[in-house]
Amino acid sequence: MSNQLARKYVKALIKSFDETELKKIHISLEELSSACKVKKFTNIINSPDIDSAKREEFILSLNVNSNVKFINFLKLLSENNRLELIPEICYELKYQEAVNSNQFNGVVMCDFDISEQKIKILEDNFSKKFNSTIKLHKSTAEYPGVKVKIDDLGLEVSFSLERLKAQMSEYILKAI
Residue 100 region by backbone torsions, left for phi larger than 0, else alpha for psi between -120 and 50, else beta: alpha
Model confidence band, residue 2 (pLDDT cutoffs 50, 70, 90) = low
What is the DSSP-derived secondary structure letter of residue 22? H
Rounded Cα–Cα distance for residues 31 and 13 (Å): 17
CATH code of the domain in which 135 resides: 3.40.30
pLDDT digits (tens, 9 = 90+) for 102-114: 888 888 888 878 8
Same domain, 8 and 88: yes
pTM, rounded to two decimals: 0.70
Same domain, 118 and 73: no
Same domain, 21 and 90: yes
Same domain, 130 and 94: no
What residues make up the domain containing 157?
103-175
Closest CA to 27 of 57, 58, 67: 67
CATH code of the domain in which 65 resides: 1.10.520.20
Determine the average pLDDT of the residues in 117-144. Answer: 86
Give the total number of structural domains in the chain.
2
pLDDT digits (tens, 9 = 90+) for 44-78: 888 888 888 888 888 888 887 778 888 888 888 88
